[in-house]
Amino acid sequence: MPASKSKKPKSARLLRCPTCAELVRITDEDFPFCSDRCRKIDLGKWASGVYKISSPVLDPEVLGDLGDMGSHRQGDDRED
């Protein structure tokens, strides 16, 4: 039971707003942001391409496989 005393309840956990780094509670209305303004700034960064989900594929073997798949699909379309 001593372990439960050292941990804070999840509702009391504080995190930082990803836009301005202000402290935010999980229970706050705009979580994980501190405000609607920071939420919109973040959305604008996604829309303008500042944030990206993944990096380009640079592995030549994977690129070759992807190229083969594209050629195969085009060949299938021509047969129909």
CATH number, domain at 16? 3.30.50.10
> From the CB of residue 29, how many other CB atoms can be counted at a distance below 10 Å?
8
Percentage with pLDDT > 70 across the chain: 68
Residue range 17-41: average pLDDT? 94
One-letter identity of residue 21? A
- Identify whether 40 is part of a domain: yes
pLDDT at 32: 94
Write the pLDDT tens digit of every residue in 30-46. 999 999 999 999 999 99
Domain count, the chain: 1
Give the length of the chain: 80
- Identify whether 69 is part of a domain: no
- Identify whether 32 is part of a domain: yes
Is the distance from CB of 42 to CB of 19 less than 8 angstroms? yes
Range of the domain at 27: 10-51
- Identify whether 58 is part of a domain: no
Query: What pTM was computed for the model?
Result: 0.50
- Identify whether 39 is part of a domain: yes
